[in-house]
Amino acid sequence: MALAFFDDVDRGGGVLTRLNRFGRWAADTFQAVRKDAHGHHADEMKHLVDDTARLIEKIRDSA
């Protein structure tokens, strides 16, 4: 994500701050996607998928 936002893989520390510009949900979604999704209930997974799609749209719009 640091490469996508900053064109610099070493700027990973700024990713969550950048994502939070879209709202806290964006950073939360990013972190959830990075973690193992096993063990979540179906309704939690639907929410994660929906938020992930929303996050992708925000990232595309901000480029």
Query: For 12-50, what is each residue's pLDDT tens digit?
Result: 999 999 999 999 999 998 888 887 655 666 677 788 889
Global pTM reads 0.64
User: What is residue 22's predicted lDDT score, i.e. its pLDDT?
Assistant: 94
Query: Which residues contact residue 34 at a Cβ distance below 8 angstroms, ignoring those fewer than 6 apart?
Result: none
φ, ψ at 22 (rounded to 5°):
-80, -15
More confident residue, 44 or 55: 55
Alpha-carbon distance 6 to 10, whole Å?
9
